[in-house]
Structure 1
Amino acid sequence: MALLTANDLSILLVEPSAMQLKLIMRHLNEEGVHKIDGVSSGKEALALISKYPPDLVITAMYLPDMTANELIETVIQDHPELNLSYMLISSEKGHAALEPVRQAGVIAILPKPFDHKDLQRAIRATLDIIDPEEITLESYDVSELNLLVVDDSLTSRNHIMRIFSTMGIQHIDDAENGRKALDKINENHYDLIVTDLNMPEMDGHELVQYIRNDMGNDAIPIMILTTENNEARLGQVEQAGVSAILNKPFEPNTIREMLFRLLDS
């Protein structure tokens, strides 16, 4: 089967500013993307998604009738069967405002104005999700790997599980916090644990500590995917024995490279 290219992508661009809409479209055209629908509001976007679901939704943070997070949540609620990818282009820098969008599983957050190279990477990441390449490991049969995904956000869990499943991993369990994850770890064998850091009841740091210290398990790789930017806290997590820390949003290729390092080292 021929690999998909940017020309195969269908994109919905949601941008209230007519000038910004034209500018972003021009950048997309330069990347070989020509199947682009442009709208200025969340209501228009939802109507188009219902009729003609795109491969990728690129949206501003603040629309006339809703925020980007509300748009994504509505699509997920109204169309759970759709596996759309999302990208945010916004001048917003506040952590509290961006946190829900990061947790929703956007493939990229680009600033205004954005670097064209960042747009290139986001397009490649979208193609990697839609037309993925299964990972091949020397030490494991990928189809037999057992993975546990731990995250208090259902949307984030679904996004993470989708990324790993496109790589050929078929056996994936999930839990909404560290406490429930421990119940599953005590009952099942896992080759890899992927967890969020900030969760209720038992967070990712406490989960790592319990696995390494209370269970005495130093062998199982534990990867943390997080939006945390507190260097001191991340340093404590590293000292607790986490195998890798990746920031949200993440690219599928970054996950693929990390799996090689963790499982084939």
Structure 2
Amino acid sequence: MTLEDLFVLVIEPSNMQRGIIVNRLKALGIVNIDEFEEGAAAITAMQQQTPDLVLSAMHLPDMTGTEVVTQMREQAELSDITFLLISSETHYRYLEPIRQAGAIAILPKPFDENDFRKALQSTLHYICDKDEITDRDTSEYENLRVLLVDDSKFARKYLNQILTNIGIESIVEAEDGAQGLALLEQERFDLIVSDYNMPNVDGKEMVEHIRASDDQPTIPIMMVTSEQNESQLAAIQAAGVSALISKPLSYDMMKQLIEKLVFDSDL
């Protein structure tokens, strides 16, 4: 599969902005494109023919991009479709649900052409790995045990799919840091992938507890977070995380980081 094979659904109320996006897609060789001005019509179309990628604006005539991706994630037949937001919106209450829902990228208006291409390539690799999982040699991952900790069910589902696409079969999920720590007392893991902002015990507190313990203090920990505050991010790093990656997630970057954390003895 190549970029040219992607089926992309574009939701953008502005004729001019929609034209810019469609022209950028066509410049990359993508011609299988459906265009919509409203979210409801786009969701109906997705139910009839499943796209590889939904590319949406934030503010639509009938709903927001947040509502579009939320409805997608709540429907089994649409839940695995990759979602990319292109918007000038910066407000936390609009963007945070999209980050948590597993968007593959959030690009500003006007968007950088290189960032656009990278997001599409990441989408392609995500889809190819998912479709070809039975044909690829994933033996290096077959004994890998991963603890996935996130309070968002949408985020856990997306992260679980990423890990599965990579070839990881043994994934145990926890809804917050407290549950994660309880599981660590019962089982041994090779990698922890965790959110930061969680109830009860947050990601930073969980990391501090693990690093201070006598049982698995050196286990690699990847923190996945939408946190923007620089002092908070510095505190997370100081707590002893092995890698820090921002939401929305780049599939390619996460795959590379996992390979380095688990298999690179220099890290």
Give 2:259's aligned residue: 260
Partner Cα distance (1:68, 1:153) in 2: 18
Cα-to-partner distance string for 1:133-173 (whole Å, 9 max, x where unaligned)? 87989xx8311100111111100111111111101000111
Q: CA deviation at 1:79?
A: 2.9
Partner Cα distance (1:180, 1:149) in 2: 11
Q: CA deviation at 1:110?
A: 0.8
Partner Cα distance (2:46, 2:159) in 1: 22
The number of equivalent residue pairs is: 260
What are the within-5 Å matches in structure 2 for residues 1-265 of structure 1? 4-80=1-77, 82-132=79-129, 141-215=140-214, 217-264=216-263, 265=265
Cα-to-partner distance string for 1:3-57 (whole Å, 9 max, x where unaligned)? x111110111001111111111000000111100000101111110110110100
Partner Cα distance (2:48, 2:69) in 1: 16
Which structure 1 residue ranges, 5 or more long, are not aligned?
A: none
Partner Cα distance (1:231, 1:215) in 2: 30
| Contact 1:136/1:142 (8 A) holds in 2 | no
Q: Which runs of 4+ in 1 moved over 4 A?
A: 133-137
Q: Which sits farther off after the overlay, 17-26 or 229-238?
A: 229-238
Q: CA deviation at 1:97?
A: 2.1
TM-score (norm 2): 0.93
The one-letter code matched in structure 2 to 1:183 is A
Q: Which sits farther off after the overlay, 140-149 or 226-235?
A: 140-149
Q: CA deviation at 1:243?
A: 0.7
Q: CA RMSD in A?
A: 1.7
The one-letter code matched in structure 2 to 1:47 is T
TM-score (norm 1): 0.93
Partner Cα distance (2:62, 2:214) in 1: 50
Which structure 2 residue ranges, 5 or more long, are not aligned?
A: none
Partner Cα distance (1:208, 1:136) in 2: 32
| Contact 1:16/1:41 (8 A) holds in 2 | yes
The one-letter code matched in structure 2 to 1:238 is Q
Q: CA deviation at 1:81?
A: 6.2
The one-letter code matched in structure 2 to 1:14 is I
Q: Which sits farther off after the overlay, 157-166 or 250-259?
A: 250-259
Q: Percent identity over the alignment?
A: 39
The one-letter code matched in structure 1 to 2:231 is A
| Contact 2:177/2:200 (8 A) holds in 1 | yes
